[in-house]
Structure 1
Amino acid sequence: MFMAEAKKKQLFGTNGVRGVVGELMTPELVMKIAMAVGSMRPGTIAVGRDTRTSGPAFIEAAKAGLMAVGCNVVDCGILPTPGLQYLVKDHFDAGIVITASHNPGNYNGVKVIEPDGTEMGDENSILVEERVFSSSFAIKSWEEVASSRSAPDMFQEYIDGVVSKVPAGIGKGMTVAIDPGCGAAYRTTASILSDLGCRVLTLNAQPDGRFPARNPEPSEEGLAPLADLVKSVGAAFGVAHDGDADRAVFIDDKGRFVEENKEFALIADAVCHGKSGIIVTPVSSSRLIEQIGKRHACTVDYTAVGSIYVARRMRSLIEAGKSVIFGGEGNGGLIYPDHQFCRDGGMTAAMMVLLLSIKKQTLSSLVDDLPPSVMLKHKFHTDKAPAMIEVVSKKFSSDRINTIDGLRIDRDDAWALIRPSGTEPLVRLFIESQDETVAKAFEKEILDSISPILA
């Protein structure tokens, strides 16, 4: 007896549909996705976007598609993806965000938000795709075409929601520097931290979809001006976001980039204090998370890479009666289950203020006090991912292998993950060990094995 092969996503990647504007991403495709979503989730749909230059055209295409299938539309304007998710879970039947997150400015995309505020999962994303490919839409007659209205100030509800999760005035006397990167957080994170009592200085806080100062991806190199600002004004930290602000990354008080897994570990230490339960994270995350979990009688549950999988695993564990304390990814995308089940860069910025106020230490000293960890990362722009996975699988077959997502190799003193991206034609490689010599030796083994393929 033969089992049917599981259906795979064709348009949707790890986090929605993304592509180069004018190539994959066109107003026509956006309208079709919106018609498919509206046909599956009838009712009132919220839409929002980041600051990309193609955003206004694509948001209008989405609104047209939704109205054509009878959905009333509320346009929330420019706001972070977690901001729209926060609004959807309380007010709407679904949501659509026009964003390409951390991708460069020539990209755009679509994220679909379910009524509970989570991103649409694989099964329903495939159903959306099937409707798009077959043009199976519930188009309404002229009497039933719906309407649209603007709600440009609703994002304030999200700001208030984040601020309510930490003690009032917790940031009094603290200076912080913020770099929204000309993205969607330009109108939220500064307000959040100001409301917490912080003195706030900003950089790249104007909306500009050309991203003139740095790419939406908040890299160490791109954040050098933020590091200079932090040092020059004596700030407690600097925080930066990607294009749609579902992630937050930090610069410490010495101007050093805080590797995102260390950020995850520090905030997990605070969130899990005095609690026991489960931390949910992908196979790409540092073993630091396991070490921090053990301090607090917390275990780690691993998932495939992607916030969708982390958030849905958190929810399923809770529904099964388990205590889930925290979740997130080692890229600055952290999930707070008592707030909402999605990555939230604004909430993470607020949590850093809370962490420093509680610990009474500088961020640099907290980072330095973490257990040793050396994380090496590579990106390979290639379409030869299957061949790379195959050769690594054979080369390291005697090691402990995990295939939840890509290929993870576990050793007692190190681990590595080689994984194709779900949104771009590239392969990522992570290697970690407490010992730099061990990490680099393991790195060389892997690079030597795949170099003939990339030649």
Structure 2
Amino acid sequence: MAPAFGTSGLRGLVTELTDELVSDYVNAFLTTVDCDTLYVGRDLRPSSPEISSVVCKTALSAGVDVVDCGALGTPALALSSMNAGAAAIMITGSHIPADRNGLKFYLPHGEVLKDDEAKITQAYSMKAKRPTKSVGTLAEMPEAEKRYIDRYISAFGTDALSGLRVGVYRHSSVARDTMEAIFKGLGAEIVPLAHSDTFIPVDTEAVDPETRTLLQSWCEEFKLDAIASTDGDADRPMLCDATGTVIPGDILGVITSKFLGATHVVTPVSSNDMVRQIPEFEKVDLTRIGSPFVIAGMQNFSNKNVVGFEANGGYLLGFTAQLKEPLSPLPTRDCMLPIIASLAAAKSQGQSLVTLVNALPPCFTAADRLKNIDKEKAAAFLERLITDETIKADFFRFVGPISATDLTDGIRVEFGETGEVVHLRPSGNAPEFRVYTQAKTKDAASVLLKSMLGKVEDTLQN
């Protein structure tokens, strides 16, 4: 399958991200941008430096000035480019394996939306290039990461996390040093964990059992209050409590939104229904999955205290939050804000993360994915569930009678007798199939997830 846009950015196999293809997409993007400066960043995948080099050379040849920010997190790159009124490209495959990579595009005001992706795709198909008479200039900006670090230390204060002992699961997150610098700047004691020079794909939305076991053992061994990490390009958070239990991203979103004083929340249909049970939230708007849809939804409430977040924990701040110092909007998927805000919320109330989470309305989710699926077969299977009521009822019969169906993104089925929910959707740009479940207890959600993964896998293999 050729590289294509999915929920966030263009992705594909490294072998398919040829110099020509990358160059053509960069040229196409530059025809849609009304500025002459491009910021470039990259994650720690082995293929990212070479792809970054192609991006920079292409932009320079198009007469665009390039600011190379090196290896840093996607939100840190976006913060610097948006503050400068410049476009940006992040070279990253996010949480997927190292044999894949991709490009995330940013306009001067933020992430590209779906309409922008369509313009880029059309320009790419036409081999479009912007007219130029000169070559751009190249500059480096190693201080871009520091600006991002200073953003959170200034807003929360140097004692916001004092007294906390926080483990940082470093693996191959491009923000591993950034996380440690921020936590130290906020007064926490840091314990670095499991640094790796080999790229490890960590999906913060579906943490594998082996990693969960490691997290639990580290918490016990090092007497930690929490462990924090991110996905590869640091726009998705991972935070676990003192028991090593991973707190789902949409729960971090709820905690963060309450802490910041948000009144309007935009989140995908895959998020935990808990968000609709919080009295402080005057309006909750549900969208399709992907930050472009969340951002588009947030724009409908631009004069409100609006935030957005996804089930993967990526957080988008759409208003100036009043903390120790004002925290300006950053309407792009961010990892550090939900981690810091959740830790700060617990500390400010004299509670552990365990107690803070347990005080929220009881609603539990679980999520995982099937890898290396046949995308055509998966699409046909989903189409049958959506269009044929008999097939749908039979497929979900083991769960119970269906009370409601939502087709906002994939198929989301509610079961009135049990209060359980199953949400199925294929990945937009990887050979993966996502399964989300929701139930009244954590164990019930996990059991339902395991059963549903098995049933979907059996169906796709036959």
Contact 1:194 1:200 in 2 (8 A): yes
| CA–CA distance in structure 1, aligned partners of residues 213 and 444 of structure 2 | 28
What is the match of residue 268 of structure 2? 282
| CA–CA distance in structure 2, aligned partners of residues 352 and 439 of structure 1 | 24
Contact 1:15 1:423 in 2 (8 A): no
- With over 3 angstroms needed to count, the CA separation of the structure-2 counterparts of 1:93 and 1:454, relative to structure 1, is same
| CA–CA distance in structure 2, aligned partners of residues 422 and 372 of structure 1 | 31
What is the match of residue 336 of structure 1? 317
Contact 2:420 2:440 in 1 (8 A): yes
What is the match of residue 216 of structure 1? 202
- With over 3 angstroms needed to count, the CA separation of the structure-2 counterparts of 1:441 and 1:421, relative to structure 1, is closer
What is the match of residue 233 of structure 2? 244
| CA–CA distance in structure 2, aligned partners of residues 450 and 104 of structure 1 | 21
Q: Which of 29, 43, 49 matches 1:37?
A: 29
Contact 1:177 1:226 in 2 (8 A): no
| CA–CA distance in structure 2, aligned partners of residues 257 and 442 of structure 1 | 16
Q: CA deviation at 1:440?
A: 5.2
What is the match of residue 60 of structure 2? 67
Q: Gaps (5+ residues) in structure 1?
A: 1-8
| CA–CA distance in structure 2, aligned partners of residues 35 and 389 of structure 1 | 35
- With over 3 angstroms needed to count, the CA separation of the structure-2 counterparts of 1:234 and 1:151, relative to structure 1, is same
Tell me whether 1:406 sits opposite 2:410 in the alignment. Answer: yes
What is the match of residue 298 of structure 2? 314
What is the match of residue 177 of structure 2? 187
Q: CA deviation at 1:264?
A: 2.9
Cα deviations by residue, 1:237-276 (Å, 9 ceiling, x for unpaired): 100110000011112112222233333333334334xx6x
Q: CA deviation at 1:109?
A: 0.6
What is the match of residue 20 of structure 2? 28
| CA–CA distance in structure 2, aligned partners of residues 251 and 439 of structure 1 | 17
Tell me whether 1:225 sits opposite 2:214 in the alignment. Answer: yes
- TM-score computed with the length of structure 1 as normaliser: 0.87
Contact 2:62 2:135 in 1 (8 A): yes
Q: Which of 124, 142, 147 matches 2:137?
A: 147
After TM superposition, list the pairs within 5 Å mapping 1:1-400 onto structure 2.
11-22=4-15, 24-41=16-33, 42-117=35-110, 119-141=111-133, 144-205=134-195, 208=197, 210-211=198-199, 214-218=200-204, 219-220=207-208, 221-272=210-261, 277-291=263-277, 293-294=278-279, 296-318=280-302, 321=303, 323-337=304-318, 338=320, 339-380=329-370, 381-383=373-375, 384-393=377-386, 394=389, 395-396=391-392, 399-400=403-404
Contact 2:268 2:294 in 1 (8 A): yes
Aligned length: 431
What is the match of residue 4 of structure 1? none
| CA–CA distance in structure 2, aligned partners of residues 116 and 438 of structure 1 | 39
| CA–CA distance in structure 2, aligned partners of residues 102 and 174 of structure 1 | 28
- TM-score computed with the length of structure 2 as normaliser: 0.86
Task: Please state whether the residue corresponding to 2:129 is helix, strand or coil.
Answer: coil
What is the match of residue 5 of structure 1? none
Q: CA deviation at 1:449?
A: 7.9
- With over 3 angstroms needed to count, the CA separation of the structure-2 counterparts of 1:68 and 1:251, relative to structure 1, is same
Q: CA deviation at 1:110?
A: 0.2
Over aligned residues, Cα RMSD in angstroms?
2.5
What is the match of residue 454 of structure 1? 461
Task: Please state whether the residue corresponding to 1:268 is helix, strand or coil.
Answer: helix
Cα deviations by residue, 1:279-306 (Å, 9 ceiling, x for unpaired): 1100111112112x23x24331100001
Tell me whether 1:431 sits opposite 2:423 in the alignment. Answer: no
Q: Gaps (5+ residues) in structure 2?
A: 321-328, 394-401
* Deviation larger for 34-43 or 214-223: 214-223
| CA–CA distance in structure 1, aligned partners of residues 40 and 448 of structure 2 | 48
| CA–CA distance in structure 2, aligned partners of residues 438 and 251 of structure 1 | 18
- With over 3 angstroms needed to count, the CA separation of the structure-2 counterparts of 1:183 and 1:447, relative to structure 1, is closer
Contact 1:280 1:326 in 2 (8 A): yes
| CA–CA distance in structure 2, aligned partners of residues 304 and 233 of structure 1 | 40
Q: CA deviation at 1:396?
A: 4.2
